[in-house]
Amino acid sequence: MALVGKKIPDISATAVIKGERIEKNFSLSDLQGGYVLLFFYPLDFTFVCPTELHAFQESLPEFEKRKCQVVGCSIDSAFCHLAWLKTPCKNAGIEGVTYPLLADTTKEIARSFGVLKEDEGIAYRGLFLIDKTGIVRHELINDLPLGRSVDEALRILDALIFYEEHGEVCPANWHKGQKGMKPNPEGLKAYFG
């Protein structure tokens, strides 16, 4: 069930904000007006997950420069998130992560985004880039053992921003600073010319 091109599901959940504060009615729709990168991970206190959460934290200034809010989500409770956030990295924790972590204890968020692994009751590694109007513009879903590339998430965000600013499309392997092309036969010829 692809969500690309569709409005995000209307969700509200408990979230841990800045690694310490619990907010009961955190809503993605409240973030409209800026970009949102929502990513799902299977469980707190696991193995690939802390590497991803720290990688997103390390690149948080790059997302913020692009006016993009990073939000993580798993089926764990806010209290479980808090315990993991208080655990140092050297002990496999995520201390220092500051972006919001949603608590999807009912599994409705993962289900509405099509990433719930029903037989285990956890989420696949889903990643969704949401534009300023709440439309999903990119989605990626990895199986449980496959960590994501934060650099690729930034590249896709840059491509979306480039498209919105210039009206040009981004060819394969495009990176910020490279040329785009007009979305027509002449643009393609000019690109290859």
The two three-digit tokens of residue 116, written as one number: 């719930």
Indicate if 49 belongs to the active site.
yes
Separation of alpha carbons 175 and 159, rounded Å: 7
Which residues have C-beta within 8 Å of that of residue 175, sequence separation ≥ 6? 155, 158
Distances 104 to 67, 79, 109, 132 between C-alpha atoms, Å: 25, 12, 6, 23
The catalytic position among 49, 68, 73, 80 is 49
CB 3 within 8 A of CB 69: no
Task: Give Dmax over CA atoms of the chain in angstroms.
Answer: 57
Give every CB contact of residue 84 below 8 A, 6+ residues apart in sequence: 44, 45, 76, 93, 94
Which residues on adjacent β-strands are paired with residue 71? Answer: 38
Catalytic residue numbers read: 49
